[in-house]
Amino acid sequence: MKITTRIVFIIAVLFHFVYVAAQNNYPQHYFRDPLNIPIQLAANFGELRTDHFHMGLDIRTQGRENLPVFAAADGYVSRIKIEKYGYGQAIYITHPNGYTTLYAHLNSFYQQLAQYVKSKQYADKRWEQDLEIPANMFPVTKGQFIANSGNTGGSQGPHLHFEIRDTKTGNNLNPLLFGMDMPDHIAPVIYNLYWYDRRYSIYSVQPQAISIVKKGKAYSTTSSIVKVGSPDISLGLRMEDMNNASTFKFGVYHAALYVDDVLQFEFRLNNFSYDSSRYVNASMDYTRWVKNKQGIQYLSLLPGNLLNIFTSLKTDGKIVLSDGTIHAIKIIVSDENENTSTVNFQMQYIAALQKNYSIPSNTVVCDVHEPNNIKTANASIHFSANAFYDALPIIVSETNAETSKQVSPTIHISDYTIPVHDDYNVMIRATTLNESLKEKVVMQLKSGNSSIVKKGLWQGDWMMSSFDELGDASLLIDTTAPVIIPVGWKNGSNFSNQKTMVIKCTDDLGTVASFTALLDGNWLMFAKKSDNFIYTFDEHCSAGNHRLVITATDVAGNGVTQSYTFTK
């Protein structure tokens, strides 16, 4: 390495550590652990998830529910959120130092808060809530009991989801930068290294594996010089982090790419919003993620990726090798405690290895930052200027209806393994519709193994709806009502020794749109978890005989009502 080059590299490294220090200017040990057990994580901040980065810490609760949860610092309860998916039951606490903490997947709140929330739910006749709480109505002190942990909402097992946010901006911050007491002396692990041919859209090429080996604390390629068949490439890593307190694997906090000792690309997962978190789909190989949950993170910035976690550089991370000479590549990955792993290798473009790609003649290329409209005989599709992260060669086609319920052709909208950033509009023409059944028509999108059903808007014979995934869309007649099933009990049952009542409610095309329970003519609150609706016996159900009436409807408006008697 020449002396001048070495000086440049040293300056870059020094700048890197100064930048780290500046980004870590958060109050240390201001927030206490929200549980009274040593912190063991199931997931960290910035971990890859479907359609979002993980925005907090998932703290293990020893496989149990109902562990006491404590306020991380002095403040006041400022918001309560209760939802079927997502957070489940969550508390937001605003603190005087400009931060807000969030505690999610809770089973229950402390008594005074629980009574307040319950009164709101019964007044609104709605279990799901998003309540803004007046300042200082419910003040809390550091270490005060606020809730019991649980497994509500989108949780797949008992744990506490904990977040720290900037109160003014609403941005989520990395809690591990606040001095959380958790030992970590283990550097991130790098599993695989890949290169992409960036003469083409990232969605037109496959990742090409580069074999690597670990020697001591560093990684290198098995070939002394990695030879590639493209003058313009970018790199991707499959990597995970670890710590001393847990056997789980986590997302990597920081990565930087140097070419000939010059910083080309860098990200740091420490400060961004929920609104921008969907850009995770532009920050990794989405196709690999959807197909097999392999998280290959890009060491480059796609044109449509507007996430603010990237160091401001004049380069987007693409590596230009057109001069045919050998270039030195260095990759640094690290965690919040600056445990670091590196990859060093050399790379060269060899023209004889070049492989060219072509696209089918029926392809439409959707540009980045431009609205795109595609039409077929029976469909019209509109993508916004923010829809795609890279230029997308897209194919839209039609095939005949597949079932008697289908009243339109099936519209094949590209490949479900390609991400869309925001909702796009789909209009489909009904070709075999009986006018009397028009109000029972829904639009269905099949995307991989998932199915989304929506009630669209009619414009003549055309129905319009919107989706944020690609796939196969069609119009269906839905005349089948949901099914109501008591779980573990039957009509006339005695609940004297029971704490809860569970009712399962399903629909043949998707989830139930509405569920209402009346006990002796009065609205009764059921919590929701997946397809189950759960009532916890309380003062709203006295001892004696009762009549329960359950009504459920689906997206198409088909309804069913079932009546039961029971004794409490």
Q: What is the tens place of the pLDDT at every residue in 511-552?
A: 899 999 999 999 999 999 889 999 999 999 999 999 999 999
pLDDT tens-digit map of 134-157: 998 999 999 999 999 999 999 999
11 pLDDT more than 90 = no
175 vs 250: CA distance, rounded Å: 14
Asked whether residue 359 carries a pLDDT value surpassing 90, the answer given is no
Asked if residue 313 has pLDDT above 90, the reply is: no
> Is the pLDDT assigned to residue 7 strictly greater than 90?
no
| Helix, strand, or coil (residue 17) | helix
DSSP E strand stretches across 251-351: 254-259, 262-268, 271-272, 296-298, 319-320, 327-334, 340-349
pLDDT score at 47: 96
The residues, any chain, with a CB within 8 Å of residue 145's CB and separated by 6 or more, are 68, 69, 70, 110
Question: How far, CA to CA in Å, does 227 sit from each of 234, 324, 498?
Answer: 14, 10, 69
pLDDT given for residue 360 in this prediction: 85
- Does the structure show a pLDDT above 50 at 5? no
How high is the mean pLDDT of the chain?
93
pLDDT of residue 471: 97
Mean pLDDT of all residues in 263-275: 94
Confidence of residue 14 (pLDDT cuts 50, 70, 90): very low
Report percent pLDDT > 90 for the chain: 89
pLDDT, tens only, 425-465: 999 999 998 889 999 999 999 999 999 999 999 999 999 99
Lookup: tokens for 345? 């290798």
**pLDDT value at residue 3:** 45
Write phi, then psi, for 22 (nearest 5 degrees).
-65, -40
Taken in order of first residue, the domains within the chain and their CATH numbers are: 41-177 (2.70.70.10), 189-353 (no CATH), 364-477 (2.60.220.30), 483-567 (2.60.40.3780)
Mean pLDDT computed over 254-281: 96
pLDDT digits (tens, 9 = 90+) for 195-240: 999 999 999 999 999 999 998 889 999 999 999 999 999 999 999 9
Residues in the chain: 568
pLDDT category of residue 24 using cuts at 50, 70 and 90: low
Q: What is the pLDDT of residues 46-76, one digit of tens each?
A: 999 999 999 999 999 999 999 999 999 999 9
According to the model, what pLDDT value does residue 19 have? 43
Q: Give me 280's structure tokens.
A: 């995770």
pTM for the model: 0.92
User: Looking at the predicted structure, is the pLDDT value of residue 113 above 50?
Assistant: yes
Rounded percentage of the chain residues whose pLDDT exceeds 70: 96
Q: Do 256 and 13 form a contact (C-beta atoms < 8 A)?
A: no
Higher pLDDT, residue 5 or 271: 271
